Amino acid sequence: MRLLSFIYVLSAGMVLIAGASFGQNDDLKYLRYDTDLLSKDFHKGRREEVRRQMPDKSVAVFFAAPERNRSNDDNFQYHQDPNFYYLTGFTESNAMLLIFKEKQNLAGIQSYEYLFVQSKDPNKEMWTGRRMGINGAKQLLGIDAVLLNRDFNGLEIPFQKFDKVLTLPFPKGIVDDKKDNIDLYDLVEQFKTKSGYPSDNNDNVKLSKIMSALREIKQPEEIALMRKAITMSCDGHIEVMKALKPGMHEYDAQAIAEYIFKKNGSEYVGYPSICGGGENACILHYGSNRRPLSSGDLQLNDMGAEYHGYSADVTRTIPVNGEFSEEQRAIYSIVKEAQDAGFAACKPGNDFQDPGKAATDVIKKGLVRLGITKDENEYRKYFPHGTSHYLGLDVHDAGVPGNLEAGNVITVEPGIYIPEGSPCDKKWWNIGVRIEDDILITDTGYENLSAKAPRSIEEIEALMKEKNMFKQSK
């Protein structure tokens, strides 16, 4: 059961002793168990690149993500703001980062960058986990100038003297905890007061452009983590293919895949798993995953793991009984042909929209060929979304669509969705197909990072005849 966050019977002295033993342990090994996190040199290099692109006499301001309440005194598992994580590797709340173009002197510390963190608190750490504090942040993150967030308000920082105060949109959903006078809400309000926000020297556009351009090109360390997230996602899809059969529910597919993600070290899912069977395969962001599955249904599984902040995004559509019907096969074949055409357009120098144009052209012609549409311009009834987006720290990651470059990671995800009641032959109704892969743009072309998960009809049908990890046979 969940423990209440106060003690009925223990004495105050006993609580403090237990908390001190837990929260004041300076052994940093208890703060990080993973050995393949992004290095502090990676984060330092990203901060230096931000500073290089900043205009003279400017300061850039970043805030951590807010904590989000699920219900009553239960919060959702904390997830750091992607930009904040990208620049620091810090995964705690109630924090702030300042990057200055020119060296400053704050609190007697000369530096270009200052990280503000919450203080060590043995009693709170006993309940909600260890905090880095100043010393932990310095040693683990490699940031020399680390101050307590409670000290920010007392610092003399003349924001008005800078030509530019660069900000991102303030975090959404910040709530003021009246019991905490130095939470994220207070940090933001203190910054607004100190800077006179919104002021004449405030720029809330340039920093977004800098961060989008940086995050759009993945560094080798990032690609290594993305490979892990994508591989474990493919493993989850493969196990679902082996296990799925009539009589199961949509949530069985979700449970199997997410078990594989966790078993392989994923901290989160990259986004809520979409497991749409039958008519639900035609709902793009379907989420309840409660429908029972029958022979003859297709199931569209859009599921991806997140590993050390980086998300995969993989979709496979499979027949619940293990064999595609004639109509399902016809629609699936068009979508796969469209995806292949999109892959071929994934080349450095091509426009970001080129994979989508290539895929769309195939779908337009395919729908007319099957008699589902009479005119190619009607394709949007059945293919209403784009084909590609950037992928990284967000499943729909930051980026500035332009020409594709080596180091971009994008999705290619065409689909056809024909809901019941569509103006076509009823034999096509409730067929929904999407195939999605994660594509790394290379110097010479592309690499399909999610190729491990079968996507041809023949491969899928063969795999669905195999036994799954739970030793169940069809």
Distance CA 62, CA 81 (A): 9
Query: Residue 38 corresponds to which tokens in the numbers above?
Result: 């992004």
pLDDT computed for residue 29 by the predictor: 80
Catalytic residues: 73, 285, 302, 313, 385, 389, 396, 413, 417, 434, 436
Per-state percent for the chain, helix, strand, coil, to nearest 5: 40, 20, 45
Give the angle subtended at the CA of 423 by the CAs of 419 and 428, to the nearest 5°: 50
> How many CB atoms are located within 10 Å of the residue 294 CB?
13
Whole-angstrom CA distances from 31 to 129, 138, 156, 357, 418 are 9, 13, 32, 47, 50
- Neighbouring residues of 210: CB distance < 8 A, sequence distance ≥ 6: 50, 53, 54, 166
**pLDDT tens digits, the chain, 474 residues: what are they?**
444 443 333 333 333 333 334 444 456 888 889 999 999 999 999 999 999 999 999 999 999 999 999 999 899 999 999 999 999 999 999 999 999 999 999 999 999 999 999 999 999 999 999 999 999 999 999 999 999 999 999 999 999 999 999 999 999 999 998 888 899 999 999 999 999 999 999 999 999 999 999 999 999 999 999 999 999 999 999 999 999 999 999 999 999 999 999 999 999 999 999 999 999 999 999 999 999 999 999 999 999 999 999 999 999 999 999 999 999 999 999 999 999 999 999 999 999 999 999 999 999 999 999 999 999 999 999 999 999 999 999 999 999 989 999 999 999 999 999 999 999 999 999 999 999 999 999 999 999 999 999 999 999 999 999 988 876 655
Q: What is the pLDDT of residue 458?
A: 98
CA–CA distances in Å: residue 1 to residues 4, 297, 376? 9, 39, 58
Q: Which of 228, 213, 360 is nearest to 307 (CA)?
A: 228
C-alpha 345/C-alpha 352 separation (Å) is 9
What pLDDT score was predicted for residue 474?
53
Residue 99 CB neighbours (<10 A): 22
- The stretches of 181-249 forming alpha helices (DSSP H) are 184-195, 206-216, 220-243
Quick one: DSSP state of residue 325? -
Q: Tokens at residue 220, please?
A: 């080798």
- Residue ranges and CATH numbers for the domains of the chain are 12-214 (3.40.350.10), 218-463 (3.90.230.10)
